[in-house]
Structure 1
Amino acid sequence: MSSPKSTFIQEANDLLQMLEEVLLELETAPESPGQIDAAFRALHTLKGSGGMFGFGELAAFSHHFEDAFDQLREGRATVSPELIAVSLDSRDHLAALLALGPDEEADEDTRIIGDALLARLRKLMDTPADVSDTFAGQPPAPDAASAEPVVPRRWSISFSAEPSALKNGFRPELLWDELALLGSLRLTCLGDNVPELEILDPGECYLRWEMELETSVSRERIEDVFIFSMDAEIEIKALDPVEAGVASEPDQDPDSPAETATVTENGPVAAPKSESVRVQADRLDDLMDQLGELVIAQARLKSICEKFDDPRLESTVEEIEALVTGLRDTTLSIRMLPVSRVFGKFRRVIRDLSLELEKPAQLITEGGDTEVDKNIIDSLTEPLVHMIRNSLDHGVEDVAAREASGKPATATVRLSACQSGGEVLISISDDGAGLNAEAIRERAVERGLIAADQYISTEALYQLIFEPGFSTAKNLSSVSGRGVGMDAVRRVVDDLRGTIDVKSVAGQGTKVTLRLPLTLAIIDGLLVEVDGDKFVIPLSSVEECVELPDIETARDDGRTILRIRDQLVSYLSLDKLFGYNISTRSHRRVAIVNADGQRIGLVVDDVLGQLQTVIKPLSPFHHMVEELAGATILGDGSIALILDVNALVRRATTVMIAA
């Protein structure tokens, strides 16, 4: 079970990612009060929860960072490019402090970086260091939200923690320290609820606290101190007669608007109902493993049922099949996450790269609500970063070249996602110069990938950019040019059992589309037979199945050509490819698949039908067989190997070229 500190780290990382996105939004829309408020809330949350869980350095830095956005909220400062730049650097510094872990002190270099960032913030905000440094012991400045003169008030605060709070990492002294910064605090600890020693649980919290606070800050600032103690019983009362009379009517209290109040005047905090539950990833993986076994067991039960003519058994099996199908769909939906979780990271990549390369560029995202399996989401960052870097470095022209060709000075990189059947299509396109087909061909001939006089389609030619070490760049740069990035893209996509489509128009730009399965756990498959052995072809790769005419004859290179609706399609015989005895059966079948953008036929003895395929990993002895994506257990208990169509076709093509 995850500890509260590990939960905080996960939530803090989410907040930092959200903060980065908000800052980038502010760079394009500096007058957006909603984004300023969102940044302030994120920093306020990091400050409060960081202090509670032992991230003192992070909490202290967040406090100073928060002050800058507090001034923005109150209109005492404005958003500027310089502020966005230092804010992004400060966000990165917060990530470094978070990586230190709880109760760890930053080293000297990290402290120097933090001090330099705070100095830049103070200079931009025109705030003296001795005023901003509230963690040194000085109280914060009074609220400026109200136009009325600030009058000190006295508040009575009663606090009782949840019994299990201490076990969950609650540290009450941090709350009292933060309250003391608001003004003059008198604190009393009461132990009237502590039981006798014989029944006392050392892990339970039996104490309660009574406080009297004299401060000039608003009620909202006091409530913010307890924002992370929603399971506790908290009661706040105004003691001054005049203020108490005003506070009894919340709608008339300018400092306590009804829509923002989280603590009632004379009552405890009402904790909101949670609409979501954070679940550890390994628990989801365990659930999916158990579901996979259930699907296999259900298939075996169905296979057994077919041998008996019992309507009652058939009815029960159908009910179980419906329940398993519903459970499968629900479990798969739990693992699905929107690709916006990945897309949001790349606005910063585009911003930093455009500054480094001196090529103004903007990122447009579409279809961020498209959902994909969490394991695919986790693997997408690396290939997308490589493709974005290539788009800006190789595809997008410099400002002079763009203006000469009539294009706007600011390039557009578009990142989009959509669902198509059992696949999700993720595309990256730019409005740059497009791919240079001649340069790609010359480089491919130079490296021996194709013969000088060999015909190759434009689509196949573009696929060569994903070969290891392939690059047409004449000069190396800090961004690209070594031919490593696109090779890494193909490797990741292959591991995910996906394909890559490349389209390019000279002078107009390039579009690279990743076609990925929606999930990696259970897929729809086409069960085929070759010389008595069974194989599964992922159904997402299959376009159609046709019968192989007996009159078709093999060419000398081992390939055959099949005419399908006035189109010629090359095909491979799996018995030859796998080393089986050459089949003499008539009426064999051809599964037409899409491999790396090409239509290829795979000749099999028979097509047995479709099935839900639970993917099982191969043993360590077979893991390096690239043509196999895994294995599955059929209803009769036998094993069927799952084919990696792209790797299979590439290997066959390589062998034939070498021959």
Structure 2
Amino acid sequence: MSLPDPTETFRQEARELLEQLELGLLDLEQNPANDDLINSTFRALHTIKGSGAMFGFTAVATFVHEFETAFDQVRKGQTPATPALIAVALDAKDHIHKLIEQPDALPAGGDAILDALHAVIAGADHAAIAAAAPFPPAEPAAAAAPAAEGSRRWRVRFRLPGDSLVYGTNPLLLLEEIRAIGPCTVVALTDTIPPLDVIDPEVPYIGWQVDLVADDPREAIDDVFLFLRDGMELSVEPLAEDAAEPVIETPVAAPEVAAASVAQEAAAAPAPARKSAKAAKAAKENDKDVPAVAAASSSMRVDAERLDELMDRVGELVIAQARLTQIAAMSSDGNLKTIAEELERLSSGLRDTTMGIRMVPIGTLFSRFRRLVHDLSRDLGKDIEFITSGEDTELDKTMIERLADPLVHLIRNSVDHGLEVAEKRVASGKAAKGTVRLSAVYAGAEVAISVSDDGAGLNAERIRAKAEEAGLLAADTKIADQDLWQMIFAPGFSTAKEVTSLSGRGVGMDVVKRTIDGLRGSIDVATTPGQGSTMTLRLPLTLAIIDGMLVRVGNGRYTIPLAAVEECVELPEGVEANARGRNFLDIRGSLVPFLRLREVFGTKAPIEPHQKVVIVSSGEGRVGLVVDQIIGNNQTVIKQLSKLHSSIKSFSGATILGDGTVALILDTTHLVAFGQSYVDQGRAA
């Protein structure tokens, strides 16, 4: 079995750190005096620099060092975290991402970003940023500025972990970082070097003693050894001539280190007689203090392809289990029935566990859009408040990945088209700052994701005029508002008066529609002129395996997603058979429309007595589905329909039953909307 590529491991860790860095910078813009945010942002930078140097990304380490040097002044309170500084820091974050993903290309623009960052730190105005000088390189120790009056002398002694050289730690770089703290002298500690014939070149036998002049370097020293504190010997104490009580710092775990894989591997203490780094790791495994490390490794990375393959295998297992259950039901063998029941229980648990692995909080997706709104606010000159809710709502990881583009287009549309400029908002009695809300909530068998704004709302006259101009609507055609709003999702449709870098080509909303249709979802549009609009995406919880209710209509069998089912009732006697589906049931004082599925599907078999009604819901709508027989519940492995059947809206997929036959899965969202249209028609009449 091949080991994972260490550079790819670094990239994965760095992506997470850069995401944390971006969120920290955006939070810092809203709360610039928060020391915790400043420190966490600085730690993310320091971690990226250290791991970049360790894995050979020298360009990353060099750039981040300059970035970190500037941001250190913010941490020390010498420079405020202004919006201008945050804007340049976000550009620097983007450049770091390019350096990591394209290490051989060496993307341009890094020097200009550092120039701008230095200019902001130095307090230069915006016009002088382009001419600002880059950061000067670190001066050698001999030329370092004299210590400020009142500085104290400290002695730092450290020995590195036994396997630190194996994992790329360079003691000279660590000493260079200590030297940057203040004037110092360095002495090598050679008392533990063994005889030449037993020396292992992979073990750092030499320790170091650094006499340093600084106010209080302990926090800075912690940053230098951020990756190594868990397994090294380190002491920081004032020299006796300062008449101060010595301060001894013992190794402690650093849970904030995001590159946990590096910190866990560098946790073995050095010893003179140790023959190799492998022996050091073996000694660490026998250490009784390992529980802290074990707790830190309670999660692991798994490739998405492996999860997809696991889900496919579980799906096949569910189909095989259904077949075994059907065979056992027709058999009189008690042992076979017992085995079938046990396998059904195990496969159900395995399915739930596998589904749990694939479910991801949607907050991981929502956090990406804070940067989008921040940049749009700056580019368009609109003051915008971005509010999110429902981040804990979980959705299948496959759907999370495919939702990114539609939500980007919806948010950009709200910011660009929906929100007015501050002058218009104030003139209409609104607050100058616009609001964009992104929320997610469970709605029965679905997740409803809404993007809303408090802008001007959709302009019905302009949309109708554009639809007529594009030939989508005849001039004398009467159309309901909901159908008119759906016109904005047509390919090439745009109400923008001119094409800009953000909108005007009529592509974005078409992308939204096609993607949501591909996810078996739907889009609801609600708008109030002068008050804003809300776009709601309704999506199934998963695209893989669901619990279903198997029903029969005529000679055909169909599956209804069980999570959408509210209850089952008998169809009352006396209901006319030729009412063409436009009927209502009184369900505990509430009128619920019902559809005869045999009429919807064109079933020719004669009507059977004692028909059943399955009440299903989608969002706030309810509808009854009249079937001939309710067969029972089953685990349903969803198989997508071919492109030839994409126009059939009543079905969202198919599944294979235990006897090998195919049962179509009903699209409850479409059927509920179809049934609710009768309610609207009745109200209009």
Aligned 1:264-343 pairs, distance under 5 A: 272=293, 273-274=295-296, 275-309=298-332, 313-343=336-366
Instruction: Please give the secondary structure, in 2, of the residue aligned with 1:182.
Output: helix
Give how far 1:95 is off.
1.3
Cα 1:623/1:568, change in 2 over 3 Å: closer
Aligned 1:539-578 pairs, distance under 5 A: 539=562, 547=571, 551-553=576-578, 560-565=581-586
Instruction: Give the aligned partner of residue 125 of structure 1.
Output: 121
Cα 1:195/1:187, change in 2 over 3 Å: closer
Give how far 1:573 is off.
5.7
Equivalents in 2 of 1:59, 1:403: separation in Å? 48
Q: Greater CA deviation, 537-546 or 500-509? A: 537-546
Give how far 1:298 is off.
2.5
Instruction: Give the aligned partner of residue 91 of structure 1.
Output: 93
TM-score for both structures, normalised by structure 1: 0.80
Give how far 1:619 is off.
6.8
Instruction: Give the aligned partner of residue 279 of structure 2.
Output: none
1:82 to 75, 78, 84: 84
1:236 to 208, 221, 234: 234
In 2, are the aligned partners of 1:576 and 1:582 still within 8 Å (CA)?
no
In 1, are the aligned partners of 2:391 and 2:440 still within 8 Å (CA)?
yes
Instruction: Give the aligned partner of residue 656 of structure 1.
Output: none
In 1, are the aligned partners of 2:592 and 2:624 still within 8 Å (CA)?
no
Instruction: Give the aligned partner of residue 200 of structure 1.
Output: none
Instruction: Give the aligned partner of residue 207 of structure 1.
Output: 203
Give how far 1:560 is off.
4.6
The amino acid of 1:331's aligned partner reads: T
In 2, are the aligned partners of 1:190 and 1:207 still within 8 Å (CA)?
no
Equivalents in 1 of 2:450, 2:553: separation in Å? 36
Cα shift readout 1:372-400 (whole Å, capped 9, x = no counterpart): 22112112211111111111122112222
In 2, are the aligned partners of 1:155 and 1:214 still within 8 Å (CA)?
yes
Q: Greater CA deviation, 638-647 or 498-507? A: 638-647
Cα shift readout 1:529-565 (whole Å, capped 9, x = no counterpart): 45634333444566777759873437xxxx7533344
Instruction: Give the aligned partner of residue 3 of structure 1.
Output: 5
Equivalents in 2 of 1:316, 1:94: separation in Å? 57
Give how far 1:460 is off.
3.1
Give how far 1:11 is off.
1.7
Give how far 1:486 is off.
1.4
- 2:347 corresponds to 1:347: no
- 2:207 corresponds to 1:171: no
Instruction: Give the aligned partner of residue 372 of structure 1.
Output: 395
Equivalents in 1 of 2:473, 2:256: separation in Å? 67
Equivalents in 2 of 1:521, 1:291: separation in Å? 10
RMSD: 4.5
- 2:407 corresponds to 1:384: yes
Aligned length: 623
Give how far 1:310 is off.
5.4
The amino acid of 1:65's aligned partner reads: F
Cα 1:256/1:382, change in 2 over 3 Å: closer
In 2, are the aligned partners of 1:618 and 1:630 still within 8 Å (CA)?
yes
Aligned 1:598-613 pairs, distance under 5 A: 606-613=629-636
Cα 1:78/1:487, change in 2 over 3 Å: same
Cα shift readout 1:418-468 (whole Å, capped 9, x = no counterpart): 223332221111111112234334444444545555544333332332222
Q: Greater CA deviation, 206-215 or 591-600? A: 591-600
Cα shift readout 1:496-530 (whole Å, capped 9, x = no counterpart): 22222221122211111112222222123343445
1:360 to 383, 390, 394: 383
Instruction: Please give the secondary structure, in 2, of the residue aligned with 1:277.
Output: coil
In 2, are the aligned partners of 1:300 and 1:634 still within 8 Å (CA)?
yes
Equivalents in 2 of 1:139, 1:408: separation in Å? 59
In 2, are the aligned partners of 1:617 and 1:631 still within 8 Å (CA)?
yes
Instruction: Give the aligned partner of residue 499 of structure 1.
Output: 522
Cα 1:462/1:75, change in 2 over 3 Å: same
In 2, are the aligned partners of 1:248 and 1:265 still within 8 Å (CA)?
no
Equivalents in 1 of 2:71, 2:143: separation in Å? 14
Cα 1:194/1:633, change in 2 over 3 Å: farther
Cα 1:599/1:467, change in 2 over 3 Å: farther
Give how far 1:598 is off.
7.6
Q: Give 5+ residue unaligned stretches, structure 2.
A: 124-131, 180-185, 258-262, 272-283, 676-685
Instruction: Give the aligned partner of residue 182 of structure 1.
Output: 178
Instruction: Please give the secondary structure, in 2, of the residue aligned with 1:209.
Output: coil
Cα shift readout 1:307-351 (whole Å, capped 9, x = no counterpart): 234555545544443333333222222222211111111112112
Instruction: Give the aligned partner of residue 65 of structure 1.
Output: 67
Instruction: Give the aligned partner of residue 12 of structure 1.
Output: 14
Cα shift readout 1:450-497 (whole Å, capped 9, x = no counterpart): 555554433333233222223333333322232221121121112222
Cα shift readout 1:45-90 (whole Å, capped 9, x = no counterpart): 1111111111111111111111222211211111112111111111
Cα 1:154/1:40, change in 2 over 3 Å: closer
Cα shift readout 1:596-625 (whole Å, capped 9, x = no counterpart): 998777776655343221123457987898
Equivalents in 2 of 1:305, 1:245: separation in Å? 86
Instruction: Give the aligned partner of residue 22 of structure 1.
Output: 24
Give how far 1:256 is off.
11
Give how far 1:153 is off.
2.5
The amino acid of 1:75's aligned partner reads: G
In 1, are the aligned partners of 2:382 and 2:421 still within 8 Å (CA)?
yes
In 1, are the aligned partners of 2:66 and 2:135 still within 8 Å (CA)?
no
Equivalents in 1 of 2:639, 2:376: separation in Å? 40
Give how far 1:288 is off.
1.9
In 1, are the aligned partners of 2:115 and 2:134 still within 8 Å (CA)?
no
The amino acid of 1:133's aligned partner reads: P
Equivalents in 1 of 2:315, 2:333: separation in Å? 27
Equivalents in 2 of 1:360, 1:130: separation in Å? 32
Instruction: Please give the secondary structure, in 2, of the residue aligned with 1:58.
Output: helix
- 2:661 corresponds to 1:638: yes
Give how far 1:245 is off.
11
Equivalents in 1 of 2:369, 2:475: separation in Å? 39
Equivalents in 1 of 2:400, 2:270: separation in Å? 47
TM-score for both structures, normalised by structure 2: 0.78
Q: Give 5+ residue unaligned stretches, structure 1.
A: 197-203, 653-659
Cα 1:285/1:341, change in 2 over 3 Å: same
In 1, are the aligned partners of 2:637 and 2:655 still within 8 Å (CA)?
yes
Equivalents in 1 of 2:505, 2:392: separation in Å? 34
Cα 1:501/1:544, change in 2 over 3 Å: farther
The amino acid of 2:151's aligned partner reads: P
- 2:21 corresponds to 1:34: no
Equivalents in 1 of 2:236, 2:320: separation in Å? 65
Equivalents in 1 of 2:84, 2:630: separation in Å? 64
